[in-house]
Amino acid sequence: MSSSETVFSLEGKGLKLDTRADLEPWLANVDPTKIEEIHFGGNTIGVDASLALAEFLQKTTVLKIADFADIFTGRLISEIPQALTAICDALKDKTSLVELNLSDNAFGGRSVEPIVPFLTQNRSFQVLKLNNNGLGPAGGVVLANALLESARLSKAEGKKSNLHTVICGRNRLENGSAAKWAEAFAAHGTLQEIRMPQNGIRMEGITALAHGLSDCHDLHHIDLQDNTFTEDGEVSGVEAWTEALKSWPELTTLNLSDCVLSGDGEVPGLLTALAGGSNAKLHTLQLQNNNLETESFLALASGLPKMASLMLLELQWNEQEEDDDNIKTIALHMKRRGGKLIASDEDEEEDAAGEDEGGEDADPLDELTAKLSKVGI
């Protein structure tokens, strides 16, 4: 079967589909029983056209990916709930469905109710993408409650949840919904990938998420960039996440850039744990713009031998001193293992590492070991 028979895409065509008549010509020669993927992003769809689309979706039997990102540009807030209801209700009983993508649709907290029946009744899907929807705390609570109910229903049926990926960034979820998301994640216990960047979640909510995600022992990808882990000298968010690291033996990617990990230049306990080898499979560590200073770089440099899988480390926009020896040592060590350190916008760490390798009798790593022994590390 050719890809054209299994994938139906209008992505990026910029179509304004108001009525059934606008959409039907695009569907006329498509067999819905063969479609495994449908992509509608970059068009705008009205209520009548959504009803026609829903009828097409109901006829699908092997649909795996439903991509309806960015389909309501220019639509009235009164149109979106009706259109969203038609689409989501048509997907409720699709046991083949793996992924639903509704990102970049500004339906906000007032228009999330149409998604609830799908989230609670379809327990086959594995990937949920709700990025940049303007949910706010109230909308976030509605959706988190729906996922919580889904987990409860699965448990009542004696089944394990299928949900493994949740992407919900840029939604202003804030502390007001973080605890409920944490409860939903813990109830499922199956999360492998969680991305919630730029949500204004502060220390209390961050702590709740650490506790909830601690029940998801298969997590391998975490992205919480641009939320807040410490406030006014309080570090309970960092402490909670330091403890939670023990629960994620499969962790390969951790993005905590722009998270205020260090308020006064102190070495965050979370960083100390990572440098101590808490997560042996960690491949990518992103720690940009976290007020980290030379003592933190020293901890990372000393810990690299215990972080044997680390291949990408991002440290730019911290409090680096010019010609920091620890940064040079990190760059050299990463280069030797075929990895990469990004410590500045210009990626000058590779040049510095190359210079350090040339013509010197002493190995910088040996010098670092001697330096550490003098300070008792």
Residue 309 in any domain: the answer is yes
Q: What is the mean pLDDT of residues 248-264?
A: 95
pLDDT at residue 358 above 50? no
Range of the domain at 341: 252-377
Question: Locate tokens 């979820």: which residue?
Answer: 173
pLDDT of residue 154: 97
Residue 304 in any domain: the answer is yes
> Which band of pLDDT confidence, cut at 50, 70 and 90, is reported for residue 377?
very low
d(CA 351, CA 152): 54
pLDDT at residue 271 above 60? yes
pLDDT of residue 367: 54
Residue 268 in any domain: the answer is yes
Residue 302 in any domain: the answer is yes
Q: What is the pLDDT of residues 175-226, one digit of tens each?
A: 999 999 999 999 999 999 999 999 999 999 999 999 999 999 999 999 999 9
pLDDT at residue 331 above 60? yes
Give the chain's domain count: 1
pLDDT of residue 290: 96
Residues 6+ apart with CB under 8 A from 29: none
The distance from CA 37 to its chain's CA centroid, rounded to whole angstroms, is 22
Residue 241 in any domain: the answer is no
pLDDT of residue 350: 54
CA dihedral 182, 183, 184, 185 (to 10 degrees): 50
CB 74 within 8 A of CB 100: no
Residue 262 in any domain: the answer is yes
Residue 134 in any domain: the answer is no
Task: Calculate Rg over the CA atoms of the chain.
Answer: 24
Q: What is the pLDDT of residues 85-127, one digit of tens each?
A: 999 999 999 999 999 999 999 989 989 999 999 999 999 999 9
pTM for this prediction:
0.91
Residue 313 in any domain: the answer is yes
> Which band of pLDDT confidence, cut at 50, 70 and 90, is reported for residue 232?
confident
For the chain, give the secondary structure using H, E and C. CCHHHHEEECCCCCCEECCHHHHHHHHCCCCHHHCCEEECCCCEECHHHHHHHHHHHHCCCCCCEEECCCCCCCCCCCCHHHHHHHHHHHHCCCCCCCEEECCCCCCCHHHCHHHHHHHHHCCCCCEEECCCCCCHHHHHHHHHHHHHHHHHHHHHCCCCCCCCEEECCCCCCHHHHHHHHHHHHHHHCCCCEEECCCCCCCHHHHHHHHHHHCCCCCCCEEECCCCCCCECCECHHHHHHHHHHHHCCCCCEEECCCCCCCCCCCCCHHHHHHHCCCCCCCCEEECCCCCCCHHHHHHHHHHHHHCCCCCEEECCCCCCCCCCHHHHHHHHHHHHCCCEEECCCCCCHHHHHHHHHCCCCCCHHHHHHHHHHHCCC
